[in-house]
Structure 1
């Protein structure tokens, strides 16, 4: 593809964020920025400020720092270097008519710096591509919110397209299924678990289309009334992945991880579910984390290590995590097609 006279199209890739280093002060700084987001902890501002600065950041930062230290590599945080690799590969795939930038919702590289990069290139249009397949107010919604907050001060605002959800995109599903089939060819698994990052139930209900959401059978189909419901999107991704993997309904489970606090979050909880499986004869489990397209603390450590330990302690024999899409070629091609569609 060659550039045209009206300028390039900008593509803004955005992921959640990561501390600058795995040391406690930087982890604390990251947690504060992340958890003070009104879309992440959606309570009154004074209560959120007191909770984050008085309880969560001081006490959670040292524990999280130890986990980040396990996760860190010579290249730094996986979430960051996988994002940079993806940017480079997508740029090569799209060609000179596009300029791809990468930013994080929290910490560095920032969304603001990525937008400035695109503005300096005088792009005629920006396609915003959050790296969250299933829409949630706390992730995709927060990214869109931040971008609009930044560009409102620009004198010239180019046309912008926001990709809000691709939970059942054939390319996305196919890329993840391809990774799973590799493990299924190596061993016979008794069951598959699709584990998604949880959110408080109240956040699902707040986004419901005129009371459509009942946190139950309303997610049995994916339609115009629940297309931006995170829970419905997770079940839709699972159905499509199960179909691509050749699984029957009783061969997989959808569950939710990483809950925080005492309020009810989306259920069932992955850690509770996996502990009951060995007693039911489920000894070998293949686990996916389809809410994440890049490996990070929640995939590598929580699902890959902590859940494995819990499963084996309960009597399980094998718990195998399917790695995230990261920057593999099938995912790059899927992203290219999504960009071209928008």
Structure 2
């Protein structure tokens, strides 16, 4: 079928409060944590937990952290997203229309989709800005796209990107960013990914593979190809391979645990504690689940883990910068979009 209109591109990241005020953070936390793919409890306990405990009690402390993070332009996650969207639009040219959306808060996905449809697009390519697939991130983005279009009579062709956890050009940027540091001067290197409850990892496993062995995530196969943890480990192996790191020099860990239940392990904080006990003084940390530096990288790793490590006797935790608005990353996004739309890659 001939496409008469332009091709729409919907870039979607997780989201950020509209301001660092407690009220804005409360609204963000409430929308985020009420998503049944994020906290996958039944409706009543999820609402009681989020509305009655987490959002009211965490909004104040989180607002203080967002104030540390905020820049004159706004939240880094959103600022970098806007720059990437503008750069991708420039590379793709007039045949495409690019919109940035946040899964939670603004710019909202329904509004961004309406703006694309107003441009008479013939298809929409959905690009979740999460290299590794998880139901709580990419799955939620795809779910919201389908929810929005359930309410519309006309649905254009929709193409959804699933993951790109070992995309060679992306791996090269992470590796190049690490080369800004003297790798030999660090006692250990951590690849710290946002955590997920082990229960959610098992829930996403249709083949009774998850957590059945100590090394179940060390190899990607058809059985675990959509496992978040396995994709994280694959990203680690790819970056470590590019840097020629031997296995004993690095560890894949998971951060941002919430609540008492078991999450993907090992935990970043526990690994830092163990490294400090063994005499480590300098640690380098990647955070390849995030394409833009944000609260979880700048504050959680760059500030909180630094303070924890010092208290344990360590000296330095350095953070490898994320992809942010690197021109090479912008080109990768454009190339992945063009590959998905079946027209090859951009020039150069």
| Shorter-chain TM-score above 0.5 | yes
In the alignment, the residues of structure 2 paired with residue 110 and residue 294 of structure 1 have an alpha-carbon distance, to the nearest angstrom, of 18
Aligned 8 A contact 2:132 2:228 in 1:
yes
Whether 1:205 aligns to 2:202 is yes
Aligned with 2:247 (options 220, 243, 249):
249
Aligned with 1:175 (options 158, 173, 176):
173
Secondary structure of 1:64 counterpart = helix
Question: How many angstroms does 1:101 deviate by?
Answer: 0.5
Whether 1:142 aligns to 2:140 is yes
In the alignment, the residues of structure 2 paired with residue 102 and residue 184 of structure 1 have an alpha-carbon distance, to the nearest angstrom, of 36
Secondary structure of 2:179 counterpart = helix
In the alignment, the residues of structure 2 paired with residue 5 and residue 211 of structure 1 have an alpha-carbon distance, to the nearest angstrom, of 43
Superposed CA deviations along residues 261-319 of structure 1, whole A, max 9, x for unmatched, are 11111111101110121332322211011000011110100011111111122222221
In the alignment, the residues of structure 2 paired with residue 6 and residue 130 of structure 1 have an alpha-carbon distance, to the nearest angstrom, of 25
Aligned 8 A contact 2:3 2:122 in 1:
no
* RMSD (Å), alpha carbons: 1.3
4+ long deviations beyond 4 Å: none
In the alignment, the residues of structure 1 paired with residue 299 and residue 111 of structure 2 have an alpha-carbon distance, to the nearest angstrom, of 30
Match of 1:75 in 2: 73
In the alignment, the residues of structure 2 paired with residue 312 and residue 64 of structure 1 have an alpha-carbon distance, to the nearest angstrom, of 22
Where in structure 1 are there 5+ consecutive unaligned residues?
A: none
Superposed CA deviations along residues 149-193 of structure 1, whole A, max 9, x for unmatched, are 0012222211111111111111211111111112237x6222210
Secondary structure of 1:202 counterpart = helix
Aligned with 1:113 (options 101, 111, 114):
111
Superposed CA deviations along residues 308-338 of structure 1, whole A, max 9, x for unmatched, are 1111222222211011111101111221221
In the alignment, the residues of structure 1 paired with residue 277 and residue 96 of structure 2 have an alpha-carbon distance, to the nearest angstrom, of 53
In the alignment, the residues of structure 1 paired with residue 335 and residue 29 of structure 2 have an alpha-carbon distance, to the nearest angstrom, of 34
Question: How many angstroms does 1:214 deviate by?
Answer: 2.0
Aligned 8 A contact 1:171 1:333 in 2:
no
Aligned with 1:190 (options 175, 187, 191):
187
TM-score normalized with structure 2 length: 0.94
Question: How many angstroms does 1:5 deviate by?
Answer: 7.1
Match of 2:46 in 1: 48
Aligned residues: 338
TM-score normalized with structure 1 length: 0.96
Secondary structure of 1:182 counterpart = coil
Match of 2:256 in 1: 258
